[in-house]
A and B are shown apart, each in its own frame.
Chain A
Amino acid sequence: MPEATPLPDRPRLAPGVRLHFDKTRDAWVLLGPERVIEMEGPASEILRRCDGTRTIDQIVDELAILYTAERTEIAGDVNDMLAELVAKRMLASA
């Protein structure tokens, strides 16, 4: 297995990828080349903050406040999700 690509410091969506609210299905979706990924739970709140200006720590801070949850728990979710999107090439590389 090749090594996992490191997460970018200030994540943003890759070219050709954007977040879209699908009125028909009443859900946030991530749209990319030949890809439609439905965003469940806090996923859209994470991705809305991946604008290339916020650091991962800042994103975690904001979500911990939004969901009044433990910071470590949120950090785990954010890191897992971003790693998955890096593997799918849906986040811009660092």
Chain B
Amino acid sequence: MTNVAPNVPAPLGLLAELTHRCPLACPYCSNPLDLDGRADELDTATWSRILHEAAALGVLQVHLSGGEPAARRDLVEIVAAARDAGLYSNLITSAIGLDPARLASLKSAGLDHVQLSLQDVDADSADNIAGYTGAHGRKLAFARSVTEFGLALTINAVIHRANIDRVAALVELATSLGAGRVEIAHAQYYGWALRNRQALMPTRNQVERAMREMEDIRLRYQGRLVIDMVVPDYYARRPKACMGGWARRSLNVTPSGRVLPCHAAETIPGLEFWSVRNHSLAQIWEESPAFQAFRGTDWMREPCRSCELRDVDHGGCRCQAMALLGDAAATDPACELSPSHSVMQALAQAASAADTGYAYRGRALRQRAGAATRRLPAR
């Protein structure tokens, strides 16, 4: 039974960031620039406690993410704990570190669903985006194992300048791999993606063409494939309903145990986050200052406060208002009713015209350093 006060509805989802370690270095990653180290990661017993507390609080689905969750040696035990708690478990993975034997163990432990990321349809381009040679080939082999084991597969593709002209081919590839669901997720500019915005931002023409293509694709695959979209909000007229509303549907536990309303929330200065090391998940959901900060509509100013869509889009994204306007309580500038909407459009236009290489996590100089540096031994 839930301990949450009657005016705070119970959450449905938990994003469990098991580790920030990842073999890939995708420049669109929305994880923070300052990553939690391995020494600070929660242990198996603590994750098991969190998963049981989450289920008791009303959470139905856990998304095991990171970083690369397979970098945790105890991943199978964590999946088993999720199943024991009655949670639906979704593994969000790059496939690196998961051979068929480990996948079989995960299935036996009760894993419900696998979400695999693809970077592009072409191996060279995909590996360049991921910053990892051979990643694409391993992903394709892994996808086949997933469906051979009878597990449900979603393919997720983050869309940006380098692959936006191939959205149709990405959906086709996903179908040929046996995916029942595809996410076409236009890059969201937080963390590493914000840092790489100039290298990632597509042009308005590219975005409009991709959106038209997706309309055709939806009709063509109707009833055969579930297609979900994350919209390119720098070119939008209305903001996304970020997280379905702040502290309304889901919560996020970082590798070291801080609990956040969304995984970019730490970019907002002055918020007080509580940790699972000191509080129960129910206490954090109900009472922690960071969760209360933008819950509901009391925090809103105009034009949100009197807007008839305030309970639909919840004012958009707090982290985006912070990143672009320096004010987390402002209307998301993706909204055309925001007095700063033109700021966002100008940023998109300028970024899309920039000619910049990727800054990869841990190897920021690689692109600009040229071939001589690349022959040096890997770190």
- Which one, A42-50, A52-60, A62-70, A84-92, is touching chain B? A84-92
A16 is an interface residue with CB less than 8 A from chain B:
yes
**Nearest CB of A to B221, in Å:** 9
Contact A36 B60 (CB under 8 A): yes
Beta-carbon contact of B60 and A22 below 8 Å: yes
A34 touches B152 (CB 8 A): no
With both beta carbons as reference points, the residue of chain A lying nearest to B9 in the complex is identified as A25
Number of A-B contacts (CB under 8 A): 69
Listed by A's residue number, 12 A-B pairs whose Cβ atoms lie within 8 Å are A15-B152, A16-B112, A22-B60, A24-B56, A29-B60, A31-B60, A31-B88, A34-B61, A34-B90, A87-B222, A87-B223, A89-B180
Interface string of B52-93 (1 = CB under 8 A from A): 000011101100000000000000000000000010101000
Question: What residues of A have a CB within 8 angstroms of the CB of B90 in the complex?
Answer: 33-34
**Interface contact B2-A89, CB-CB below 8 Å:** no
Residues of A within 8 A of B225 (CB): 89
B136 at the binding interface (Cβ < 8 Å): no
**Cβ A16 vs Cβ B57 within 8 A:** no
Chain A residues with CB under 8 Å of B112's CB are 16, 18, 31
When distances are taken between beta carbons in the complex, the residues of chain B under 8 Å from A4 are 223
Question: Which residues of A are found within 8 Å of B60, using beta-carbon distances?
Answer: 20, 22, 29, 31, 36
Q: Quote the shortest CB–CB distance from A36 to chain B (angstroms).
A: 6
- Contacting residues of chain B (153-209) with chain A, CB-CB under 8 angstroms: 154, 180-181
Asked if residues A5 and B88 are in contact (CB atoms below 8 Å), the reply is: no
Q: A20-B86, A24-B57 are in contact. Are A15 and B181 (CB under 8 A)?
A: no
Please name the 7 residue pairs, one residue from A and one from B, whose CB atoms are nearest each other, closest first.
A16-B152, A24-B58, A31-B88, A15-B152, A16-B113, A33-B113, A33-B181
Which of B113, B151, B223 interacts with A5 by CB under 8 Å? B223
In this complex, the member of A14, A17, A34, A86 whose beta carbon has the largest number of chain B beta carbons within 10 angstroms is: A34
Within the complex, the shortest CB–CB distance from A94 to chain B, in Å, comes to: 13
